[in-house]
Structure 1
Amino acid sequence: MAGDTGDPPEQSPLTDLLARVQQAGQHRESVSLGAILDHVGRRSFAPFLLVAGLITLAPLVGDIPGVPTLMAILVVLSSVQLLMNRQHIWLPAWLLERRVSRERFAKATHWMERPARWADRLLKRRLVQLTRPPAHLPIALTCLLIALAMPPMEVVPFTANGAGLALTLFALALLANDGLLALLGYVLTGGTLALVILNLI
Structure 2
Amino acid sequence: MPDAPPTETRDDPASGERRRRRFSEVLRDLAAADRERIAIADILAAFGDRAFGALMLVFAAPNALPTPPGTSSVLGAPLLFITFQLMIGRSVLWLPRLITNRSVARADFARLVDRMAPWLEKAERLLRPRLTLLIGPVADRFIGAACLLLAVILFLPIPLGNMVPALAIAAFAVGLIERDGVAVSVGWAATAAAAGILVAISAALWAALRAFLQTLLGVTI
TM tier, shorter chain?
0.7 to 0.9
Matches for 1:2-41 after TM superposition, within 5 Å: 10=19, 13-23=22-32, 27-28=35-36, 30-41=37-48
Supply the distance in 2 between the matched residues of 1:196 and 1:96 (Cα, whole angstroms): 31
When residues 11 and 81 of structure 1 are mapped into structure 2, their CA distance, relative to the original with a 3 A threshold, is closer
- The normalised TM-score by structure 1 is 0.75
When residues 107 and 74 of structure 1 are mapped into structure 2, their CA distance, relative to the original with a 3 A threshold, is same
When residues 112 and 74 of structure 1 are mapped into structure 2, their CA distance, relative to the original with a 3 A threshold, is same
User: Which stretches of structure 1, 4 residues or more, deviate above 6 A after TM superposition?
Assistant: none
C-alpha offsets along residues 39-93 of structure 1, whole Å, 9 cap, x if unaligned? 3337752223232233444x7xx83554422332222212222333335322122
Identity %: 24
- Say what the alpha-carbon RMSD is for the aligned residues: 3.1
Higher RCO, Cα 8 Å, sep 6+: 1
C-alpha offsets along residues 84-119 of structure 1, whole Å, 9 cap, x if unaligned? 333532212222233444444332221101111110
The one of 143, 156, 159 equivalent to 1:156 is: 159
Question: Any unmatched runs of 5+ in structure 1?
Answer: 1-5
Supply the distance in 1 between the matched residues of 2:107 and 2:162 (Cα, whole angstroms): 23
- The normalised TM-score by structure 2 is 0.69
When residues 122 and 87 of structure 1 are mapped into structure 2, their CA distance, relative to the original with a 3 A threshold, is closer
How many residues are matched? Answer: 188
Structure 2 letter corresponding to 1:38 = A
When residues 196 and 31 of structure 1 are mapped into structure 2, their CA distance, relative to the original with a 3 A threshold, is farther
The one of 44, 52, 56 equivalent to 2:59 is: 52
The one of 100, 111, 116 equivalent to 2:115 is: 111
Q: Tell me whether 1:132 sits opposite 2:133 in the alignment.
A: no
Question: Any unmatched runs of 5+ in structure 2?
Answer: 1-7, 10-17, 206-221
Deviation at 1:145, TM superposition (A): 0.8
